């Protein structure tokens, strides 16, 4: 016998691109299981992209034909109209999923949460942005009994934020967090060496689609810094981005290169410096890894290129895997380690899906 509520859950998706589109495919594949096994009555009623918007009735869209709907019958995208549309579903639980990397959409989170709409997102912009905005959204969720879930902001689908939350809520004290949290930089330093120069490895990562169109965005370390800020805030720290010490891997002389192509053409000139660091590490039985560190004892946060012993878990990753280590009062001598794919549409969408299911199951509690 189940006590789960059969009050319908209506869902809006902002950004049906790579991650959002993959999420819709996963929802379609699991739709029968959601209804029959988990007793969750869920319908996608609104989808908005930068080009079009489609608003459905309570029965929602056909998850296999939504792209045709958007192309043939979609209207001009309007986030305010998209938001107002949810007012007509007062007898339903409401969830909006932001799958964009946009900075404008997160500015609506607090209003959504205050109006009874739950928010799920892998978008890092608000969670690592100004502390006041993050606090505003969190407080809105607390005050109005709504859920604000963002597991996908760190480590894609890896259970990092949920694990950290469980540790703290069960009374453990976090002492130190350290991790390789960029799939791009993980791939680069897992591949560096073996006869390949640094610029060759970066070019290979770019060709495989691991980097942003301009690899400087990855090499600057900003993405890892954002993730460390999110983890710091989860630990209760009032931390801002500017408080993170970040070592950029972009040669200063190339920071202002006119284009990504220009940057890639000039990068080989600086291979010798990186090769020297790699050789120095190898001579000491070490490997180079780009690591984010949060020390809750010294209250410091950094993102930097570090030497780690070849026996260390960080030195034994494959491909673009992420890894994170939690040293706590309980997990002291042997830190708790989570490892796995930290990038890619499938795993990121799965992390968002898991957050959505967490919200749905919680809503179903008697």
- Catalytically active residues are 227
Structure tokens at 356: 């959505």
Structure tokens at 354: 């898991």
**Measured distance CA(12)–CA(85) in Å, rounded:** 10
**Measured distance CA(81)–CA(362) in Å, rounded:** 28
The angle that helices 222-234 and 160-169 make with each other, rounded to 10 degrees, is 20
**Measured distance CA(340)–CA(181) in Å, rounded:** 10
**Measured distance CA(104)–CA(106) in Å, rounded:** 6
**Measured distance CA(92)–CA(254) in Å, rounded:** 53
Structure tokens at 228: 């460390």
Three-state secondary-structure class, residue 245: strand
**Measured distance CA(293)–CA(303) in Å, rounded:** 6
For residue 181, how many other CB atoms are within 10 A of its CB?
A: 30
Structure tokens at 335: 């830190």
Q: Are residues 121 and 317 in contact, defined by beta-carbon separation less than 8 angstroms?
A: no
Structure tokens at 365: 């509690």
**Measured distance CA(346)–CA(351) in Å, rounded:** 9
**Measured distance CA(347)–CA(343) in Å, rounded:** 7
Mention every residue, 6+ apart, whose C-beta is less than 8 A from residue 182.
218, 223, 224, 290, 322, 342
For residue 3, how many other CB atoms are within 10 A of its CB?
A: 8
Helices (H), 260-326: 260-266, 271-283
Instruction: Kindly list the distances between the CA atom of residue 341 and the CA atoms of 129, 180, 246, 338, in Å, as whole numbers in the listed order.
Output: 25, 11, 23, 10
């Amino acid at each position: 016998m189940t006590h789960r509520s059969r009050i319908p859950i209506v869902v809006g998706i902002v950004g049906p691109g790579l991650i959002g589109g993959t999420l819709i495919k996963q929802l379609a594949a699991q739709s029968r299981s959601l209804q029959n096994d988990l007793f969750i009555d869920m319908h996608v009623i609104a989808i908005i992209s930068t080009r079009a918007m489609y608003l459905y009735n309570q029965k929602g869209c056909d998850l296999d034909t939504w792209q045709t709907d958007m192309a043939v019958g979609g209207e001009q995208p309007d986030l305010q109209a998209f938001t107002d549309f949810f007012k007509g579903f007062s007898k339903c639980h409401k969830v909006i999923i932001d799958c964009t990397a946009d900075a404008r959409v997160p500015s609506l989170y607090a209003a959504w949460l205050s109006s009874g709409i739950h928010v799920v997102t892998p978008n890092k912009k608000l969670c690592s942005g100004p502390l006041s905005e993050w606090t505003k959204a969190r407080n809105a969720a607390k005050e109005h009994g709504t859920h604000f879930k963002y597991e996908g902001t760190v480590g894609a689908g890896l259970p990092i934020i949920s694990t950290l939350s469980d540790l703290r809520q069960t009374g453990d004290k976090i002492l130190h967090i350290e991790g390789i949290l960029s799939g791009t930089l993980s791939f680069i330093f897992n591949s560096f060496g073996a006869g390949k120069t640094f610029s060759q490895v970066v070019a290979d990562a770019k060709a495989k689609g691991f980097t942003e169109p301009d690899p400087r965005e990855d090499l600057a370390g900003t993405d890892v810094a954002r993730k460390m800020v999110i983890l710091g805030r989860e630990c209760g720290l009032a931390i801002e981005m500017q408080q993170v010490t970040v070592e950029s891997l972009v040669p200063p002389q190339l920071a202002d290169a006119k284009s990504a192509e220009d940057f890639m053409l000039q990068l080989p000139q600086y291979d010798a410096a990186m090769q020297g660091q790699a050789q120095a590490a190898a001579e000491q039985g070490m490997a180079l890894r780009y690591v984010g560190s949060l020390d809750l004892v010294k209250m410091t946060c950094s993102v930097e290129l570090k030497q780690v012993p070849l026996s260390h878990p960080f030195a034994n990753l494959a491909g673009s895997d992420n890894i994170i280590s939690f040293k706590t009062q309980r997990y002291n001598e042997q830190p708790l380690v989570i490892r796995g794919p930290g990038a890619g549409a499938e795993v990121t969408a799965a992390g968002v899906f898991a957050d959505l299911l967490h919200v749905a199951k919680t809503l179903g509690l008697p």
